[in-house]
Amino acid sequence: MKIAVCIYEGPYNHEASDSAYNFIKAAIDRGHEIQGIFFYHDGVYNVTKLMEPPQDDRHIANRWSALGATGIDIVVCIAAAKRRGIVDDVLVPNVRISGLGQLTMMAIQADRMVVFGD
C-alpha cells in the first residue's frame, strides 16, 4: 500500500513526531511504500538543524534526515515554514521546502494518508 504521512506538531513537545516516525518504520518493515512525508503547522520545526537535544536523547531532526536519505520524499510546507522562520538554510539534509500542492498530490496519489497531530 502507498502511504502518505502528514505531521502537524513540533518535536519533543508532542508525541506526534515520534508516533509518525515509529509508524513509518513499521510500515516499511511490513513492505508498504511511503509516498511522502509532509510537515505542516508546527510540524515544520521537526527538521531544523539548529536543534541540539541532550546527547542521551533522540535527535529528531537527524532521524528524519536519515529517513530522507533512504529516498523518501520529505516536504516542509513553505507557507507554514515562512510563518515560523524555517528556511532552506536551517534545514537538515534530505528534506525540502515546497508548497501545499505537494500535500495535494500525496493525498490524491497515496492509498492512505495518515495524519499525526491534535
Partner 1 sequence: MAEEIKKIMFTVRKAPHGSIYVYEGLEVKLIMAAYDADISVVFMDDGVFALKQGQDTKELGIKGFAATYGALMDYEIQKVYVDRHSMEVRGMTEADLLVIGEDEETEEPVKPQVIDAQEIAAMMAEQHNILSF
Q: Which residues are known catalytic residues?
A: 77
- Which range in 14-22, 55-63, 87-95, 99-107 contacts partner 1 by CB under 8 A? 99-107
Residues ≥6 apart with Cβ < 8 Å to 40: 6, 7, 8, 77, 80, 103
Q: Could you tell me the smallest distance in angstroms from the CB atom of residue 61 to partner 1?
A: 21
Q: If binding is defined by CB under 8 A, does position 112 make contact with partner 1?
A: yes
Q: If binding is defined by CB under 8 A, does position 28 make contact with partner 1?
A: no
Task: Tell me which residues in 50-89 interact with partner 1 (CB under 8 A).
Answer: 79-80
**Residue 11 to residues 1, 31, 60, 107, 112: CA-CA distances in angstroms?**
27, 27, 7, 23, 23
Site size for partner 1 (CB under 8 A): 19
Q: CB-based burial of residue 100 (10 Å sphere; 0-12 exposed, 13-18 middle, 19+ buried)?
A: middle
Please, which residue, 53 or 99, has the CB nearer to partner 1? 99
> Grid coordinates standing for 4?
502518505
Q: If binding is defined by CB under 8 A, does position 1 make contact with partner 1?
A: no
- Which range in 12-20, 25-33, 65-73, 105-113 contacts partner 1 by CB under 8 A? 105-113
Could you tell me if residue 85 is left (phi over 0), alpha (psi between -120 and 50 degrees) or otherwise beta? left
Interface residues toward partner 1, by CB under 8 A: 6, 8, 40-41, 79-80, 99-101, 103-105, 107-108, 110, 112-113, 115, 118
